[in-house]
Amino acid sequence: MAVKLGLRTVYIYDYFNRNHNFTAKWFIISCMKIPIKYAIESGAWFQCRKDKFKLKILSFEKEKSKTMNGLEGTLTLQIINLNKRPVSIIEIVDNIVIKDSDDFTFYYSDYKAFIAHNLNPKIKYTGFICFHLPIEDESEYCFSIKKGSIQEV
């Protein structure tokens, strides 16, 4: 079964586990726009194949910016480096973008609270990524990866 979500297609593979209870697994194909609300509510981890990292979105808050005519969107997330070597947080954060319901893309403006500049492998880091966003009450935001593919794990 396939479900159209945004401009991409999500494939849902249905199967039964040993107790014959119905479960569904979502596989998100190539640079899918993933609704932030879904990512938070599901508590799912998402893995980026090209840059080898996993991320989990904990919260997304918007507030009026003090320095510009717009909103400051703060994405709180956990990141795990899956490379065999330390990786700069900038390499990972630079690959994460937010898209609005009109498919406009927003890049990060700042990142905060990551304890280390270089992320060691297999360790969970928590931090914030900030985005400058327009003032739109109805807009549903999604996150995506600029390069590579991402899937729910």
- How confident is the model over 34-45, as a mean pLDDT? 96
| 25 lies in some domain | no
Query: Percent of the chain scored above 90 by pLDDT?
Result: 58
Look at the chain and report how many structural domains it folds into.
Answer: 1
pLDDT at 12 over 80: no
pTM attached to this predicted model: 0.76
Q: Is residue 9 part of a domain?
A: no
* Domain limits for position 115: 32-152
DSSP string, 72-114: EEEEEEEEEE-SSS-EEHHHHHTTEEEE-TT--EEEEEEEE--
Q: Would you state the pLDDT for residue 35?
A: 95
Lowest mean pLDDT among 14-28, 35-49, 87-101, 116-130: 14-28
**CATH number for the domain harbouring residue 140:** 2.60.40.1240
| For range 100-107, the mean pLDDT | 92
Cβ of 88: how many Cβ atoms within 10 Å?
13
- Asked, for residue 97, whether it belongs to a domain, the answer is yes
Q: Average pLDDT of 94-113?
A: 91
Position 49 scores a pLDDT of 82
What mean pLDDT, rounded, does the chain reach? 81
